Homo-oligomer: A and B are copies of this chain.
Amino acid sequence: MNPKVAQTPEPPYYAVIFTSVLSAETDGYEDMSDQLVRLLSDQEGFLGVESARSDVGITVSYWLNEASIEKWKEQFMHKQARSKGREKWYNSFVVRVAKVERDYSFNK
């Protein structure tokens, strides 16, 4: 995963907030996660991604509009990953689709 704060354009744009708790069966998870992040960057309307994991994992991906989120949802590898995720890797997760209305940033 890219260890960066995403550089997003002026709002409005969309955020998909994915919060998850992993199960004990995490083999294959890291590989799939890396693969998905590489695929993401080629997706139409993709603006950036941020990811961190402590007790929960939080991945926020940013998108130009809802249509681009829907297209990503239909992407073949992403569908496979979601199926495997439910079957194996995750104990629980929540996906929230949100419209970013305003933002501000700070840099030292």
Contacts and interface: CB of A to CB of B under 8 A. Distances in A.
A3 B102 contact: no
A39 interface: no
Interface of A is mostly: strand
30 contacts: A1-B55, A3-B54, A4-B55, A5-B19, A5-B56, A6-B94, A8-B96, A11-B96, A15-B96, A17-B17, A17-B100, A19-B50, A50-B56, A50-B58, A51-B58, A52-B55, A52-B58, A60-B60, A86-B106, A91-B108, A92-B105, A92-B108, A94-B105, A95-B104, A96-B100, A96-B103, A97-B100, A97-B102, A97-B103, A99-B99
Contact of A52 (B5, B6, B54, B105): B54
